[in-house]
Structure 1
Amino acid sequence: MTRGDGADAPYWEGLATGRLMLPRCDGCDRWMWPAGRRCGLCGTIGSHWVERSMAATVFSWTRTWHRFGMTESLELPFTSVVAAVDNCGVRLLGLLEDPDRIDPRIGEALVGRPSHTLVGADQIPTIRWSRIS
């Protein structure tokens, strides 16, 4: 499944095929996230997409204990993390595979894997993060 033809379409297409694709500016080579048509630093219009490994660290996290809309497919409680992708400054949201419900530590190393999450009737490509032991 892709997420349309917006500026971030290659990100969604990459996840759907098991790859993490992130945009870099054609002018200054800065990582551009969220994806856009114009670089916020140098103003260049245009980017190229680069495959990245799904290695990251915990930037922030929260554990959700109560149901809210569009989370019916997730087992409660679930832990969401904002993960800082290694060596590029991009931060991505994903679910932490956390069967023991041990609190993540800021800066803790993570590895991601492509997955899908059921949102309403749609399977959305996602990243599932795990701790590196």
Structure 2
Amino acid sequence: MTIIDGADAPYWEGLAEGRLHLPRCAGCSRWLWPAVSRCGHCGSEDIAWVERAMAGTIFSWTRTWHRFALTEDIDLPYVSAVITVDDCGIRLLGRIDDPGQVDPVIGESVQGRIGKTHVAGRDIPTIIWSRG
């Protein structure tokens, strides 16, 4: 059993349940990422976790051809991307579903689904982004 704690626990719990939850300050309505326990803008400790659609655009990406430590269970090559989530501006790291190895395009729309990545003997919920 994995124990999830820290300011970002609702993010990981949401992914494990198949949903994307992102933090928003209930005091000033700003989106907050990385997750914090207190808003750096207004000082409020009232952080709401809001479910968001797994939709966004590609901000940046890279294709990995060589093995790194703890990535032994990820098929090579794979594409990692930073995705700007629609309507909130938060940027999240994830993998792009890349069956044809066609280079992604910055600004391209993507839709996410929950997958998993096996790292260091654990399955970690991961957003897998698919291009339209």
Equivalent residue runs for 1:115-130 within 5 Å: 115-130=115-130
Query: 1:50-93 CA distances to partner (integer Å, 9 max, x unpaired)?
Result: 10000010000000000010110111110001000001010001
Taking only aligned residues, the RMSD between alpha carbons, in angstroms, comes to 1.1
* Cα distance in 1 between the residues matched to 2:16 and 2:45: 26
Stretches of structure 1 lacking an aligned partner (at least 5 in a row): none
Q: Are 2:95 and 1:100 aligned?
A: no
* Contact preservation (8 Å) 1:85, 1:92: yes
CA spacing shift, 1:2–1:42, aligned 2, 3 Å: farther
The aligned length equals: 132
Alignment partner, residue 90 of structure 1: 90
Alignment partner, residue 70 of structure 2: 70
CA spacing shift, 1:53–1:3, aligned 2, 3 Å: farther
* Cα distance in 1 between the residues matched to 2:61 and 2:105: 9
TM-score, scaled to structure 2? 0.96
Shift of 1:45: 1.5
Identity %: 62
Query: 1:87-127 CA distances to partner (integer Å, 9 max, x unpaired)?
Result: 10100011100011111111000000011110010000110
Equivalent residue runs for 1:1-133 within 5 Å: 4-132=4-132
* Contact preservation (8 Å) 2:4, 2:13: no
TM-score, scaled to structure 1? 0.96
CA spacing shift, 1:88–1:118, aligned 2, 3 Å: same
Q: List, as ranges, runs of 4+ consecutive aligned residues in structure 1 with deviation greater than 6 Å.
A: none
* Cα distance in 2 between the residues matched to 1:43 and 1:16: 29
